[in-house]
């Protein structure tokens, strides 16, 4: 275990003005507080904060950060208090220690919602002082180095958490060395067989290619020196995790990898970087397509370097990184390399100006404070952590960095949420392309907009960025609420018109509260979504207005027969009542007299779904047939001698039950049109039960789908998404005649199947 004076000497070696008294006091205080506590390895617990402090001295952090490292577990694991630490070490150190203490152990594998909330706490603590992140990463690194003392199940959980959160977070902050070590330590636990195979191969390669590596290093240094460039040349072998990731990504065998050796050329200036590149390309063969200039276009985490791959001695491929000392320091230590921290300045805006990496953290914090759900936030953060970037340009030359696999939809939302919501098309390098087209570095992308457009829900499966996905979900939710609001408003206005009354604001609020909603808008949305029954609304409205409804006396069956439950195919249940329709003649009254619990109930061919207004038609001896209010068949029955019966759903406990309905549309006659339509329906989570397709002209087919949905809201989502699909027109709910066409197909197919059997 490192002694007190050794720690102080390590800090003074890079910071001669460090506060020795602070470091000594923190060392003694933490050692006393942890006392006889032991770690799983059997070592004194104090060895852990001491090792965390040692890791931070390698990053050359300020003395306050080193003190925090020594104290970071005292509030959580000892009897120390925040007030005591504030009194002894100052409020700045106390707030950082407290921020670390509030961060609970993330449990990725078992509780995603809890993990999302804890990740929020971590990022908010970092936003107050980024040294929280540096101490947390050092803490996790030492825990990973000693993970083998834990139980196997706990090892896997902590390793998965490290691979999913902490290693990518270190990468996003530009801390390459720490990210690489965290990834390799986690990889060793999660996939030990693959880890062992790769490390064995690397050890063999180091032995086999030792002479080749030495020769290439010498030749590079010599060629550069001849041209007056003093370069520091070093060789390295790629990490086991980066090799495994490449094998998985490219679907190749380990033996097929030919560029596991890398060389770094550290030169004095940016101009020397480009001079060195010219010398390398002049003297060695270059592997096409492997050149990247991250000096001209830096990565999101401030990484700057030139990458190229050459074929060296013995036809061995070698990847070269050319950079300056300053670039190398930032590449190794990331945000910890910025001098602001060594001067003790922690103002978030100053750091943002110094480091582009920190700008990502600000955007993420902005997203989590925008009121998104925990699931949305966790998905957004993971997507942002893992992105491997491509660089695209707008027509005005603005550079946009996006994750690999991004589409024009992602670029539109990266520019502005309004641009994403109104995006209807895109041009890449001047050519109109589908919105599902994946972008490549260097593409110039122009977004085509329509102010009346709203994003369909299936865009969520296309978008690659968390920002785009969250914005699409939000827009879809808002559109669904707006539709429900409009439907609820129509229902209330119809009811008020029927009753010959009106509601002022106070009465509307009273009505809403009586039905369990805080205000007018919330009530109307609930009505449109089918969460408030029309009967309940009717009854409460009369109570609010103080009106007693007087009904016209009609010869009705006995009360126990006037209302009842009727089963449809033993699953869906309807409840109905007889309103005393003035159009009902003698035949209708005779039918009502037959009403009982054995009455047969059927649904018209075009189908009804929860949320539809429905009418039951009853004729003597024929049972009840239920029609949606928009059915064309009702107009034919308007003046006939039948009983019109009010019908409503009762699906409590059966909200996820599927109901069939018919959707009709026209689509362009081209390859993939059916697959495109099916994909849109599937994206809305609806199921295709049956299909009739016929050619109406050489250019268009008519499709009649029999689909299964949960309710009217989901059906509306399907219809709206289809209307926004390119090449699809005349989208609507099917008619009775179209429903019969689908039924004939089912009957014919069934008959043919029986004949075959």
- Low-confidence stretches of the chain (pLDDT beneath 50): 103-110, 339-353, 368-369, 371, 549-572, 580-584, 747, 749-754, 756-757
Q: Report the distance separating Cα 105 and Cα 161, nearest Å.
A: 10
From the list 20, 43, 58, 76, the catalytic residue is: 76
Measured between alpha carbons, how far is 277 from 307 in angstroms, rounded to an integer? 9
Q: Which residues pair with 567 in a beta bridge?
A: 573
Rounded Cα gap, residues 412 and 401, in angstroms: 12
Instruction: Find all residues with CB under 8 Å of 577, minimum gap 6, and list them.
Output: 562, 563, 645, 646
pLDDT digits 0-9 by tens, 74-121: 888 888 888 899 899 988 888 888 877 654 444 444 455 555 556 666
Tokens of residue 161, six digits: 């958490």
Q: What angle do CA 51, 57, 60 make, to 5 degrees?
A: 160
- Alpha-helix residue ranges (DSSP H) falling in 638-723: 673-683, 712-723
How many Å apart are CA 691 and CA 742, to the nearest integer? 7
Angle between helix 91-101 and 63-71 (nearest 10): 50
What pLDDT is attached to residue 273?
Answer: 93
Q: CA-CA distance, 544 to 512, in Å (whole number)?
A: 10
- The C-alpha atoms of residue 48 and residue 43 are separated, in whole angstroms, by 9
How many residues appear in the chain?
757
Identified catalytic residue from 77, 513, 641, 708: 77
Q: Write phi, then psi, for 626 (nearest 5 degrees).
A: -100, 130
- Strands 601-603 and 399-403, bridge-based pairing: unpaired
pLDDT in tens, 291-315: 888 898 887 777 889 999 888 766 7
3-state secondary structure 544-580: HHCCCCCCCCCCCCCHHHHCEEEEECCCEEEEEECCC
Please, which residues have CB within 8 angstroms of residue 674's CB and are 6 or more apart in sequence?
667, 693, 703
Q: Give me the pLDDT at residue 124, please.
A: 65
The answer to whether 573 and 650 have CB atoms below 8 angstroms apart is yes
Expressed in angstroms, the distance from the first to the final Cα of the chain is 81
Q: Is 695 helix (H, G, I), strand (E, B) or coil?
A: strand
Q: Give pTM, 2 decimals.
A: 0.55
pLDDT at 303: 84
Ordered domains of the chain (ranges, CATH): 4-191 (1.10.3210.10), 196-336 (3.30.460.10), 475-545 (no CATH), 559-649 (no CATH), 659-756 (3.30.70.260)
Q: Where are the beta strands (DSSP E) in 543-670?
A: 564-568, 572-577, 601-603, 614-619, 623-628, 643-649, 659-668
Per-residue tokens: 208: 């086999």
Is the distance from CB of 706 to CB of 690 less than 8 angstroms?
yes
How far is Cα 30 from Cα 2, in angstroms, rounded to an integer?
14
Average confidence score pLDDT of the chain: 78
pLDDT of residue 116: 58
Quote the distance between the C-alpha of residue 101 and its chain's center: 28
pLDDT recorded at residue 190: 92
Helix ranges, 369-465 (H): 374-386, 408-415, 417-421
Task: For residue 708, give the nearest of 681, 736, 742, 680 by alpha carbon.
Answer: 681
CB 566 within 8 A of CB 598: no
CA 119 from chain center: how many Å? Answer: 15
The yes-or-no answer on residue 77 being catalytic is yes
Output the DSSP codes for 730-755.
Answer: EEEE--HHHHHHHHHHHHHHHHHHHH
In this prediction, residue 592 carries a pLDDT of 55
Own/partner contacts of 9-14, CB < 8 Å, gap of 24 or more, are 10/54, 10/57, 11/57, 11/63, 11/66, 14/57, 14/60
Per the CB < 8 A criterion, the answer to whether 138 and 190 are in contact is: no
Per residue in 380-419, is it b (16+ CB within 10 Å) or e — as a string?
A: bbbbbbebebbbbbeeeeeebbbbeebbbbbbbbbbebee
Helix (H) / strand (E) element for 389: namely strand 389-393
Element (H, E) at 514: helix 505-514
Say how far residue 527 (Cα) sits from the centre of its chain.
30
Q: Is 76 a catalytic residue?
A: yes
The token duo for 150 is 């834990």
d(CA 441, CA 297): 11
Q: With b meaning 16 or more CB within 10 Å and e meaning fewer, what string describes 224-259?
A: beeeebebebebeebbbbbbbeebeeeeeebeebeb
| Buried-exposed string 38-56: b where 16+ CB fall within 10 A, e elsewhere | eeeeeebbbbbbbbbbbbb
Give the pLDDT confidence of 191-236 residue by residue, as tens digits. 999 899 888 888 887 777 788 788 888 888 888 998 889 889 988 8
Do residues 331 and 274 touch, judged by C-beta distance below 8 A? no
Q: Output the six-digit token pair for 66.
A: 């080193």
């Amino acid at each position: 275990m490192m002694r007190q004076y050794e720690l102080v000497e390590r800090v003074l070696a890079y910071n001669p003005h460090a506060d020795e008294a602070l470091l000594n006091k923190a060392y003694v205080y933490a050692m006393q507080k942890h006392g006889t506590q032991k770690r799983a390895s059997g070592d004194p617990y104090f060895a852990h904060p001491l090792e965390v402090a040692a890791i931070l001295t390698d990053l050359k952090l300020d003395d306050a950060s080193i003190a925090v490292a020594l104290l970071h577990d005292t509030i959580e694991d000892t009897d120390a208090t925040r007030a005591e630490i504030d009194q002894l070490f100052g409020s700045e150190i106390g707030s950082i220690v407290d921020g670390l203490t509030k961060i609970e152990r993330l449990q990725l594998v078992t509780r995603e919602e809890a993990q999302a909330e804890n990740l929020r706490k971590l990022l908010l603590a970092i936003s107050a002082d980024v040294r929280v992140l540096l101490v947390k990463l050092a803490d996790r690194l030492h825990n990973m180095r000693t993970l083998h003392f834990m139980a196997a199940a706990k090892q896997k959980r902590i390793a998965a958490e490290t691979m999913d959160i902490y290693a990518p977070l270190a990468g996003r902050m530009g801390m390459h060395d720490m990210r690489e070590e965290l990834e390799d330590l986690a990889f060793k636990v999660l996939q030990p067989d693959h880890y062992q195979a790769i490390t064995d191969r690397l050890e063999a390669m180091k032995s086999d290619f030792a002479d080749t590596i030495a020769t290439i290093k010498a030749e590079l240094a010599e060629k550069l020196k001849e041209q007056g460039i003093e370069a520091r040349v070093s060789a390295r072998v790629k990490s086991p995790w980066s090799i495994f990731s490449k094998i998985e990504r490219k679907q190749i065998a380990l033996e097929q990898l030919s560029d596991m050796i890398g060389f770094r050329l550290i030169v004095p200036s940016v101009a020397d970087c480009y001079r060195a590149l010219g010398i390398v390309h002049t003297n060695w063969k270059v592997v096409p397509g492997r050149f990247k200039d991250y000096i001209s276009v830096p990565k999101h985490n401030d990484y700057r370097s030139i990458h190229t791959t050459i074929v060296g001695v013995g036809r061995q491929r070698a990847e070269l990184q050319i950079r300056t000392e300053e670039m190398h320091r930032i590449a190794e230590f990331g945000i910890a390399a910025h001098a602001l921290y060594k001067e003790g300045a922690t103002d978030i805006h100053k750091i943002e100006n110094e480091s582009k990496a920190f700008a990502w953290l600000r955007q993420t914090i902005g997203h989590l404070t925008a009121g998104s759900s925990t699931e949305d936030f966790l998905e957004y953060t993971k997507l942002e952590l893992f992105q491997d970037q491509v660089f695209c340009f707008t027509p005005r030359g603005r550079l946009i960095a996006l994750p690999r696999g991004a589409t024009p939809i992602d670029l539109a939302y990266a520019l502005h949420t309004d641009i994403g919501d109104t995006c209807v098309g895109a041009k890449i390098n001047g050519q109109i392309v589908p919105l599902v087209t994946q972008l490549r570095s260097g593409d110039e992308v122009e977004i085509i907009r329509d102010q009346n457009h709203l994003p369909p829900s299936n865009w969520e499966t296309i978008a690659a960025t968390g920002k785009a996905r969250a914005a699409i979900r939000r827009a879809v939710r808002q559109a669904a609420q707006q539709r429900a609001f409009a439907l609820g408003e129509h229902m209330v206005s119809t009811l008020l018109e029927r009753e010959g009354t009106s509601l002022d604001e106070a009465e509307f609020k009273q009505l809403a509260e009586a039905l369990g909603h805080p205000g007018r808008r919330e009530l109307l949305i609930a009505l449109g979504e089918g969460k408030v029954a029309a009967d309940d609304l009717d009854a409460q409205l009369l109570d609010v207005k103080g009106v007693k409804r007087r009904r016209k006396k009609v010869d009705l069956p006995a009360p126990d027969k006037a209302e009842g439950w009727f089963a449809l195919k033993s699953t869906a249940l309807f409840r109905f009542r007889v309103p005393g329709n003035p159009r009902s003649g003698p035949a209708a009254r005779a039918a009502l007299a037959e009403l009982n619990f054995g009455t047969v109930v059927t649904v018209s061919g075009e189908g009804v779904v929860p949320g539809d207004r429905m009418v039951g038609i009853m004729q003597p001896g024929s049972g009840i047939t239920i029609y949606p209010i928009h059915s064309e068949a009702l107009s034919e029955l308007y003046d006939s001698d039948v009983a019109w019966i009010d019908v409503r759903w009762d699906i409590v406990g059966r909200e996820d039950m599927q109901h069939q309905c018919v959707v009709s549309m026209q689509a362009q006659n081209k390859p993939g049109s059916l697959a495109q339509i099916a994909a849109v329906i599937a994206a809305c989570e609806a199921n295709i039960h049956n299909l009739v397709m016929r050619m109406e002209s050489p250019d268009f087919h008519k499709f009649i789908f029999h689909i299964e949905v949960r309710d009217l809201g989901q059906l509306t989502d399907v219809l709206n998404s289809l209307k926004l699909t390119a090449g699809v027109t005349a989208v609507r709910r099917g008619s009775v005649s179209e429903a019969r066409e689908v039924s004939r197909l089912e009957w014919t197919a069934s008959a043919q199947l029986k004949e075959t059997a």
